[in-house]
Structure 1
């Protein structure tokens, strides 16, 4: 089985921040083909024009694991709604489905087809923190969990990596991914 993982960074970030390089290495060592694209216009460009570019860049299938952080996790909702083939796992770290603070959030859709999202992923995790400084907190995780099921994990770990929060490894993610 050819397992692959696609890791999506957050808003104003890149694939070499926080735990993303560490997770790439861990998954590659386990035999995954890992892709961690750089999307500088994530959460800058409206999702209506940004999403088609992302979908054109990747091939998703039953052996795909998706991991997104912050804005990248919000992006996963749109990806999961619009793909043609279900994926194996999706893990949304510090994800959100509604505006979490006063900043513009062009990565969010106006509405979601929750049934389509749920139908397109076998195993779904939401990892949020009660102490997230941007509002990507446990309430956001709960809102997604209530609509989609899956597993919600709540900690007190800030934003799970930020300019002022080094988060160089994330053992939990390594354990969650099949």
Structure 2
């Protein structure tokens, strides 16, 4: 059995930013094979274009943990809906399923098959903040929880990493991941 983890950066992000490399190192030390794809078109191009690129290049199965931040978390909702079977765990950090602000959100689908998302998410963990500068807040997390189940962890820590919020480590995630 090869345990895999895929860490998906947020809108305008990069796999070498904020806590992504730190988490990758932590998970690698625990025996995971870690993938941090660079998706420059994330939330720029339509989700229907981004989704196949992520799905076709990776094995996503019961030994896989998915971690997404912001727009990456939104992308993972579409990933979960389109899988043929469940992953071990999905951790959505500052995730959202509806427009969190006035910006265009091409990473979002018009709607979601929440039964499929729930069935494929494995142990679903949502991490949102009371206040988030982009609107990816606890209300967004609660909306996903109400539709897909799982566990909602609410902190008061902004966007959990951003241009003006250095966030080199994220020990909570290391504890939450199976």
What TM-score results when the alignment is normalised by the length of structure 2? 0.98
Alignment length, in residue pairs?
178
Alignment partner, residue 36 of structure 1: 36
| Structure 1 stretches of at least 4 aligned residues deviating more than 3 Å after TM superposition | none
* Aligned: 1:72 with 2:62: no
Q: CA deviation at 1:131?
A: 1.4
SS in structure 1 opposite 2:88? strand
**In structure 1, how many angstroms separate the alpha carbons of the residues matched to 2:46 and 2:103?**
14
CA-to-partner distance for each residue in 1:72-110, whole Å, 9 max, x for gaps? 000010000001121000000000000000000000000
* Aligned: 1:156 with 2:156: yes
CA-to-partner distance for each residue in 1:61-80, whole Å, 9 max, x for gaps? 10000000000000010000
Alignment partner, residue 59 of structure 1: 59
**In structure 2, how many angstroms separate the alpha carbons of the residues matched to 1:142 and 1:56?**
30
Q: CA deviation at 1:2?
A: 1.3
**In structure 2, how many angstroms separate the alpha carbons of the residues matched to 1:91 and 1:27?**
14
**In structure 2, how many angstroms separate the alpha carbons of the residues matched to 1:57 and 1:2?**
16
SS in structure 1 opposite 2:52? helix
SS in structure 2 opposite 1:125? strand
Equivalences for 1:128-167 in 2 at 5 Å? 128-167=128-167
Q: CA deviation at 1:121?
A: 2.0
Q: CA deviation at 1:53?
A: 1.5
**In structure 2, how many angstroms separate the alpha carbons of the residues matched to 1:56 and 1:171?**
31
Structure 1 stretch 44-53 or stretch 111-120: which is displaced more?
Answer: 44-53
What TM-score results when the alignment is normalised by the length of structure 1? 0.98
Q: CA deviation at 1:115?
A: 0.1
SS in structure 2 opposite 1:127? strand
**In structure 2, how many angstroms separate the alpha carbons of the residues matched to 1:60 and 1:68?**
14
Task: Structure 1: give runs of 5+ residues left out of the alignment.
Answer: none
